Structure 1
C-alpha cells in the first residue's frame, strides 16, 4: 500500500513492535521521501543496500533495533543530502569505522554508539563540518582522539565514553563559536576541558556570569567574551579580579571581555605575561592596576575606575595603546608619561584629571592619537607639542590658557581646542575671517565666570571672540 503513495515525504514507524527483515525493494517507496524513521522496533537481518536510493532523504533513523551483519556504508554514503543518521544500538558484526561516511558533508547529527565499531576514528571524517552531535560511545574504537574533533567549530555534543582510546587529549584545544546567536549561559562544562587554550564566545547573546570552573583552565591563553550580556563579578577562581592572574600563571596573555556588565575590582598588579586586556564598557571600579611588563594594549574605557594614574610607568614601555577614557580618574598626568616611547594611542578623555600637560609628551614621537578632552587640565600647551606628528588631537573642554602654537594652527586641529576659554590663537590674515558666519564683537573682557563640570574659573584678556555655527567658543589674541 505504501508503495502506491508516490508523494510520500515523511515516514515514522518508531517506537513500535515491528519485527522481521526490511524488504529488499524498500526503494520502491516514494522517491520524494525525505524522512524515514524505523528506530526503536525489533527489526532484524541486514539493512538492504537499496536504502541508499532515496535521492532526497535528509533523515535516516535506524537505531535501537536488532539489525545484524554489515551495514551498507557505501550505499548510505550515496545519500548526499542526509542531515541525520542513527545506526546506534544494533548488534552489527565488528567492523572498522566507515570511512565512506566522510562523504555525508551535510550531516549535523551522527549517532553510532553501541554498534561494534573497531579501529580508529579516521581523519577523512573531518570533512563533516556541519556536525552538531557526534556519539561514538560504547564501541571498540582505539587509538588517539584526532585533533579535528577538538577543533571542530560547530560540534556542541560529543560522546566518546566506553571505548579504547589511548594517548593524551589534544594539548591545544580551541573553541571558537563567536558571532552566532548563542543564548543562555556559559556552560560549566567548559571548565572540564583541561587542555583548553582558546575560548572565543564573542558577539553572541550569552547572559549570566562566567562559571567558576573556567578560572581553573591553567592552559588558557586567549579568552574573548566581548559583546554579550554577561554580568556579575568575575569568579574568584578566574582570578578576575583577585586570583585569575596567579592561577593561569604564565599562560593567559589575551583577555577581551568588553561590552558586558561585569563588575568588581582588580588586583594591584596585573600578571607579567598579559599583552592585551580589554575591559571597556563594563562596571569595574577601584584604582588603576599596575600594568604587566609585557602589556601592549590596555583598554578600560567607560568603567568606574578611580584614583590617579600610577606614577611609575617605566615597567610598561611596551604599551602601544592606552585607553582610560570615561572613568573617574583624578590627579595629574605623571611626568613619567614620556617613557612610553612606543605609545601611539592615548585616550584619557572624560575624567577629572587636573594640572598641566607634561612637556614630556614631546619625547613621545610615535604618538599619533591623543585625546585629553573633557578634563580639568590647566596651564599652557607645551611647546614640545611641535615635535609630535599627530593624526588626531583633542583638548577641548579643559582650562588651558595662552596662545596656540603656530604648528597646531591648521585645519587638522581646528576643533581640538574648543571650550578652553583661556586659549587664544592668532591666525594669518588670509584665514582670520575665513568661514566666520557669526557676529563679532570687540570688548574689554574684565572678569568673567563660567561653570564647567561643576567648577568655576575666571580669566582676564583683551580679545576678539565670536560664536561660530556650532556655538563653539574661540578667542583671538590681540
Structure 2
C-alpha cells in the first residue's frame, strides 16, 4: 500500500510539473493558451493541449499521465487550473521584484487601456536601482479598474503598493500613459501622489511600446529630453529606419536585439543614457551603418569575436561603459573607420593578430583607448593615422585634430618610432603606463600641440630636437619619469605657444631661468 501511494505521489508530481512547465513556457512567449475547438477530434486544440501532446510524444511516462490517459478526476486541463498556475507564477515573480526593490526608493509608471472585453485595466511598472547599481524596470501588476477617475486610480494604485508593503513615501517619480486625466497638473493623479509624497515628481517617458511598428519610420530623433523606460523591440519594424537618436535621456534596459537585423540603419546615437546589458552580436555588421555612438551608458560584456559582414563604420564611440575582455582585430579591418573611442572601459588584452598585414587597414583621426586595463607593447597596436583633413556628415564642423591616447593603461616596453610616421598627429598622451627606454628623437621633432609622457619609467635625456619650424607645442608633460641631464636648449624655440611645461619628479639638473628666452614668456605653467 505504501509503495503504491509513493508511486501515485510521484506520478501526480510529474503531471503537475509538466503542466507548470507548459504554462510557464507559453506565458514567457506571450502565447494564447486555449483554442477555439478543444475536443479530442479537433486538428488544433490550442497551444496548451497541443504542447502537452508534444511533450507526451517524447516521454512515455508523461504520456501515461496527461490528456486522455489521465484519471478523469485529475486531468488538470481546464482553463481554471491554467489560471491558478499562472497566478502562482505571477506571485512568485512579484515577490522576487519586491525583494529586489527592498527598502530603497522607486519610481512608478502606469499604462491604462482596455482589454478585449472592453474592461479598463492598468499596468503598474516599477523602476528602481538594484544592489549592483543598475537601473531596473519591471512589470509588477495588472489591475482591473471600474473607471479612470482620479480617486479610483489613486485607490487602486495605493492598494496594490500596500499589498506588497511598498511605501508611498519612497516614490521618487511618476509617469503615465492612457487616460487624459492621468496627466493633470493640479487636479490629476500626479497631484494626489505629490500631496502624499513631495518627491514623487512627474516626468515624461517613452510610452508607445509599438513605436515604429507601422513599418514606415525612417528617422527617430528623441535627443535631449527626460524620456525614461526601455526601447521597444519593434523599433525597426519594416526595416526602413535609417537614423535612431535617443541621446541624453534616461532610458534603461538593453539595446533591442532586433536592431542587429535592421539593415537600413546608418546612424545609431544612444549616448548618455542608462542602457545596460551586452551589445547585440551582429550590430556592427549592418551593411549601411556608419555611426555608432553608445558612450556614457552601463553596457557590459565583450566585443563580438568576428564580424558577419564587411562594415562601413566611420565613427565608433563606446566610451565610458563597462566593456571588458579583448580588443578585437576586426576593428582594424574597418577601412572607413576614422574615429575610435573606447576610453573608460575595462578592456584587458590585445588580439594576437592585431598587427598582421590583413588586419592593419584602418587609418584614424582619433584613437582614444585611455582608462582601460590594456597591457602589452604599444608596437602591437597598428598606429596608422590619416594624412588628410577630415569632414564627415556626422560631425558639425571641420576637424583637424589627430589624437592618440592610451592614458592610464598597462602598456610596457619602449615607445615605437612608427608613431612618428603620423605627420599630422597633434595630440599624444601615453601617460601613466609602464613604458621604459628613451624618448624617440623623432617624437620630439613632430609638430605636436600636446605631448604627455608623464607617469612612466622613461630614462635618458630629453632629445634636443625641437625645431624652429615646429611652433605649435602648447603642452609638454614629462613628469614622474627618470629623465636626467639638462633641458634641451632647442625647447626655447617653442616659447611663443608653450603654456604647460611639467618635468617634476625626474632627475633633471639645470639652472633657472632655464635659458634667457624664458624671461619673456607670458605666464606659462612650469612644474619643475
Smaller-chain TM-score bracket: 0.5 to 0.7
Partner of 1:340 in structure 2?
422
How much has 1:132 moved relative to structure 2?
4.0
Partner of 1:180 in structure 2?
249
Match of 2:292 among 195, 218, 223: 223
Q: 1:312 to 1:384 in 2, by over 3 A?
A: farther
How much has 1:361 moved relative to structure 2?
2.1
Task: Name the count of aligned residue pairs.
Answer: 304
Partner of 1:422 in structure 2?
508
Match of 2:337 among 267, 271, 274: 274
- Cα distance in 1, alignment partners of residues 403 and 515 from structure 2: 39
What are the within-5 Å matches in structure 2 for residues 73-152 of structure 1?
A: 132=208, 146=216, 149-152=217-220
Partner of 2:133 in structure 1?
none
How much has 1:320 moved relative to structure 2?
1.6
Q: 1:176 to 1:386 in 2, by over 3 A?
A: same
How much has 1:159 moved relative to structure 2?
7.6
- Cα distance in 1, alignment partners of residues 416 and 507 from structure 2: 25
- Cα distance in 2, alignment partners of residues 344 and 231 from structure 1: 32
- Cα distance in 2, alignment partners of residues 224 and 429 from structure 1: 47
Q: Does 1:376 align with 2:462?
A: no
How much has 1:315 moved relative to structure 2?
4.7
Contact map agreement 1:368 1:391 (CA 8 A) in 2: yes
Q: Does 1:403 align with 2:486?
A: yes
Structure number with bigger Rg: 1
| 3-state DSSP of counterpart to 2:375 | strand
- Cα distance in 1, alignment partners of residues 287 and 464 from structure 2: 50
**TM-align CA RMSD:** 4.3
| 3-state DSSP of counterpart to 1:191 | helix
Q: Does 1:353 align with 2:435?
A: yes
What are the within-5 Å matches in structure 2 for residues 203-214 of structure 1?
A: 203-214=272-283
Contact map agreement 2:269 2:293 (CA 8 A) in 1: yes
Partner of 2:71 in structure 1?
none
Match of 1:264 among 308, 325, 329: 325
Q: 1:297 to 1:212 in 2, by over 3 A?
A: same
Match of 2:314 among 253, 258, 265: 253
Contact map agreement 2:247 2:269 (CA 8 A) in 1: yes
- Cα distance in 1, alignment partners of residues 336 and 518 from structure 2: 53
- Cα distance in 2, alignment partners of residues 328 and 343 from structure 1: 23
Q: 1:277 to 1:326 in 2, by over 3 A?
A: same
Q: Quick check: which one's helix share is greater? A: 2
Q: Quick check: which one's strand share is greater? A: 1
Partner of 1:295 in structure 2?
364
How much has 1:34 moved relative to structure 2?
11
- Cα distance in 1, alignment partners of residues 437 and 426 from structure 2: 23
Q: Deviations over 1:324-365 (max 9, x none)?
A: 111111111122332110100100000111111111124422
| 3-state DSSP of counterpart to 2:300 | strand
Q: Does 1:310 align with 2:379?
A: yes
Q: 1:189 to 1:314 in 2, by over 3 A?
A: closer
Partner of 1:385 in structure 2?
466
- Cα distance in 2, alignment partners of residues 181 and 314 from structure 1: 37
How much has 1:179 moved relative to structure 2?
0.7
Contact map agreement 2:453 2:477 (CA 8 A) in 1: yes
Q: Deviations over 1:356-389 (max 9, x none)?
A: 1111124422x11110000111111111124442
Contact map agreement 1:225 1:257 (CA 8 A) in 2: yes
How much has 1:227 moved relative to structure 2?
0.4
TM-score normalised to the size of structure 2?
A: 0.49
Q: Does 1:325 align with 2:388?
A: no
Contact map agreement 1:226 1:260 (CA 8 A) in 2: yes
Please list every run of 5 or more consecutive structure 2 residues that lacks an aligned counterpart in the other structure: 1-112, 120-147, 151-176, 181-203, 388-400, 521-525
Contact map agreement 1:313 1:336 (CA 8 A) in 2: no
